[in-house]
Structure 1
Amino acid sequence: MVQIAWLGKKSPFCGNVSYGLSTTKALRSRGHQTHFIHFDTPHSPERNGISLLANDPDVSLPYLVKSQVYTIPSPRAQRELRDSLERLKPDLVHASLTLSPLDFRLPELCQQLSVPLVATFHPAFDSGLRNLTAGTQQLTYQLYAPALARYDRVIVFSQLQADVLIKLGVPAKRLAVIPNGVDTDLWSPASPGTASLLQRSVRERLGKERIFLYMGRLATEKNVEALLRAWRLVSPEGCRLVVVGDGPLSSTFQNQFNDPQILWWGYEPDLETRVALLQCAEVFLLPSLVEGLSLALLEAMATGTACVATDAGADGEVLAGGAGIVMKTQEVTTQLRTLLPVLRDQPVLTAALGRGARKRALERYTLSGNIDAIERLYEELIHSNSLATLHSQAKST
């Protein structure tokens, strides 16, 4: 079994957090020893350079600023990270990149410690550069490309994402395409005729209407305003839009779109409740301008919910060929004005789309398949590192 030092995020909640928690949990279930190193202690003079969790299997690093998008570590964080790695002596370091200055220093640090280094690169993208947000994300890719070229391997979620990095100078041999995966036993359709107490409670709060659902951050790149405008224009009778999530635009949207047909659920921290919400929903809507590979989309697919998403990032690739409806990132409101009445009037269509989505998730996007691929990558890198160490020792004697 492999001893892994996992550098990632546990808060605030975002796709990176979901990825790190679900992946490390699955790795531990297979017998791997995983130490989670994360920014979880606000910088304080009282620390005096001492890691507060020095004897814990998980390690807390100090930070100055932490958000869903980026992290600014304290000046002591790099030293504490090095001390932790020297103490843990992992077989491999896996960094689920947190958009932090430490991301750029990790290759040199792990090289000094002779430890293989894997990254998972999360930032959303739109290879078509069709809007300002996509252009901003492209700058992130340009900034990171030289550093990623120094990692032993960089996990990306699609070949489209790999192609973007290759064009920016990251060698293809450094990249590993391993799509996100979800637990398709947990994220599954509700059993016909049986509803748990939680499902009944969620359904009662949702009301009797047919449920169209958005689940994610309320931020510019998610383009939720385009969905809200389309909903207000169409006002599909007998249907309700449920918005699950929070973010910088939450108050603005709630004030601007005060509509009884829209339920502002807010941030939902409970995993089982999020499952129940998707099980109650007939249609999942994701109008993003940029994406990587949306975990929320894969979760909706696995629950058998009909999915409508833009072709930002890899989401269009995921739904292509009958697993859902794919929109362009431009003029989303116009496209939804056409689609919403069709989805309202064709429940047979939404049921068929839900079955297709579930089938695609089972075929390509299971968590077990994701972990299988990560394990093979670990084995390859650890084996190569062992050979290199033996070769170095032989040369020195």
Structure 2
Amino acid sequence: MAHIAWLGKKSPFCGNVTYGLSTTEALRRRGHQTSFIHFDNPGSPASSTTSLLANDPDVSLPYLVKSQVYTIPSPRAQRELRESLERLRPDLVHASLTLSPLDFRLPELCQQLGVPLVATFHPAFDAGLRNLTAGTQQLTYQLYAPALARYDRVIVFSELQADVLARLGVSEDRLAVIPNGVDQQLWAPPCSMPAAPRTDAIRCQVEERLGKERIFLYMGRVSTEKNVEALLKAWKLVNPPGCRLVIVGDGPLRTTLQNAHGNNSVIWWGYESDLETRVALMQAAEVFVLPSLVEGLSLALLEAMASGCACVATDAGADGEVLADGAGIVLSTQGVTTQLRTLLPVLRDQPVLTAELGQRARQRVMERYTLNRNIDALEQLYRGLLVTPVAA
């Protein structure tokens, strides 16, 4: 079994955090040793359980700025990272890239240490460049491509994403398409297995707060690229009777949108840190809507699919690929409000349709997007790097 030094994020909550924590936990369950290196100022409340000691499972690096999108490390972070890797002596370094200046220094550092280096490249994209946000994300890909070409392997979530990087100069033999995966036993329809007493209690609390109406759900950041305003505008125009829209998440646009679109049929749940509560929210929802302008491969979408929700998402990133061929309803990133204005009444009036779409979504996850399949592919990639010398 391998010793993996995982460089990633533990906060603030985002898809990158979920990916890192779930993947390292799954690797540990399979017998691998993982050392989690993350940005966390020593002495801050969140760092009380971490240290730079060699026998500590976590290593903290100091930072100046940290957000859901990017991280600016402190001047001494690179030195502390090098010292940590020299002390830990891992077989392989896996960087779940945090959009940090350190991302560009890692190839040289790992080459000096003689350690294979793997990256998971998360930034959202829209290969069609159909809007300003997509153009901004494309610049991120252009900026990162020369550095990614120096990593031993770069994991992306879809063939579309791999094509974007290949066109920007990253060698195809360094790219590995390994889609996100979710725990299909955790994220499951509510009737699929018996629940523990605490889980039942959480479900009851969630259902009490949501009421008896049919639930349409959005879960994620409330930010420009997620295009939540388009969903809210469509909901206000349709105002489907007997239904409620639940917005779970936080972000820079939350206050503005809540003030502009607050009404009795919209529940602003806010950021939810408790995993079991998030699971219960997905299980309570009939329809999950993701109106993003850009995406990578949304974990929230996969979680909703695994939970048996009827899923509606734009074709940004790989989300359209995930829902293709009847696993859900795919929208264009252009004119989302207009499309939803037409679609929401159909979903309201056709519960048989939403039930069928939920079953198909669950089946698609079971076929292609389970965490076990993800870890199988990851282990195979690791074995190839640890056995075969990496090309310079």
Scaled to the shorter chain, the TM-score interval is: over 0.9
- Residue 303 of structure 1 is matched in structure 2 by 307
**Aligned pair in 2 of structure 1 residues 254, 42: CA closer, same or farther (>3 Å)?**
farther
Q: Secondary structure at the match of 1:41?
A: coil
2:337 aligns with 333
Residue equivalent to 2:80: 80
Q: How many percent identity over aligned positions?
A: 78
What's the offset of the Cα at 1:194? 7.3
What is the DSSP-based 3-state SS (H/G/I as helix, E as strand, rest coil) of the residue aligned with 1:301? helix
Deviations 1:181-228 (A, max 9, x none): 000000000017977121111101001100000000000000000000
Name the CA shift for 1:202/1:87 in 2 (closer, same or farther; >3 Å).
Answer: same
Which consecutive residues of structure 1, in runs of 5 or more, have no partner in the other structure?
45-50, 390-397
- Counterpart for residue 23 of structure 1: 23
Count of paired positions: 382
**Corresponding position of 2:35:** 35
SS of the residue 2:190 aligns to = coil
How far is the alpha carbon of 1:171 from its aligned partner?
0.5
Unaligned ranges ≥5, structure 2: 45-49
Residues 234-264 of structure 1 deviation map (CA, whole Å, 9 limit, x = unaligned): 0000000000000000100110011100000
Deviation at 1:54, TM superposition (A): 2.4
2:241 maps to what in 1? 237
Matched position secondary structure for 2:125? coil
Distance in 1 between the 2:165 and 2:130 partners?
Answer: 18
The 5 Å alignment of 1:148-167 reads 148-167=148-167
Alpha-carbon distance in 1 for matches of 2:340, 2:141: 30
The TM-score with structure 1 as length reference comes to 0.94
* 2:126 aligned with 1:115: no
- The question of whether the paired residues in 2 share the 8 Å contact of 1:287 and 1:309 is answered with yes
Report the 3-state secondary structure (helix = DSSP H, G, I; strand = E; otherwise coil) of the residue aligned with 2:151.
coil
* Structure-to-structure mapping, 1:114-193, within 5 angstroms: 114-191=114-191
Does structure 1 residue 101 correspond to structure 2 residue 105? no
After superposition, residues 1-397 of structure 1 pair within 5 angstroms as 1-41=1-41, 52-55=51-54, 56-191=56-191, 196-385=200-389
What's the CA shift string for 1:136-192, capped at 9, x where partnerless? 000000000000000000000000000000000000001000000000000000017
Structure 1 range deviating more: 146-155 or 197-206: 197-206
Alpha-carbon distance between aligned partners in 1 of 2:194 and 2:162, rounded to the nearest angstrom: 43
TM-score normalised per structure 2: 0.95
CA distance in 1, matches of 2:43, 2:149: 31
SS at match of 2:330: strand
In 2 relative to 1, CA 221–64 (structure 1 residues): closer, same or farther, beyond 3 Å?
same
Give the secondary structure class of the aligned counterpart of 2:264: coil
Query: Does the 8 A contact of 2:42 with 2:51 survive in 1?
Result: no
Q: What's 1:392 paired with?
A: none
1:135 counterpart letter in structure 2: G
Amino acid aligned to 2:161: Q
Contact 1:13 1:68 in 2 (8 A): yes
Structure 1 position 307, deviation (Å):
0.1
Give the Cα–Cα distance (whole angstroms) in 2 for the partners of residues 360 and 7 of structure 1: 30
Distance 1:255 1:189 in 2: 33
Change (3 A) 1:99 1:388: closer
Structure 2: distance between partners of 1:314 and 1:285: 15
Provide closer, same or farther for how the CA distance between residues 83 and 358 of structure 1 changes in structure 2, counting only shifts above 3 A. Answer: same
Deviation at 1:384, TM superposition (A): 1.5
Q: Please tell me the root mean square deviation across aligned C-alpha atoms, in Å.
A: 1.6
> Shift of the alpha carbon at 1:69?
0.3
Structure 2 distance, partners of 1:192, 1:374, is 28
Q: 1:388 to 1:107 in 2, by over 3 A?
A: closer
Q: Which runs of 4+ in 1 moved over 3 A?
A: 192-195
Distance (Å, rounded) in 2 between the aligned partners of 1:11 and 1:329: 29
Instruction: Provide the C-alpha distance between the structure 2 equivalents of 1:330 and 1:377, rounded to a whole number of angstroms.
Output: 37
Structure 2 CA distance for aligned equivalents of residues 144 and 388 of structure 1 = 20
2:263 is aligned with what amino acid?
D
One-letter amino acid of the structure 2 residue matched with residue 301 of structure 1: M
Deviation digits for residues 361-395 of structure 1 (CA, Å, limit 9, x no counterpart): 0000000000000000000001113x999xxxxxx
- C-alpha contact 1:43 1:74 (8 A) present in aligned 2: no
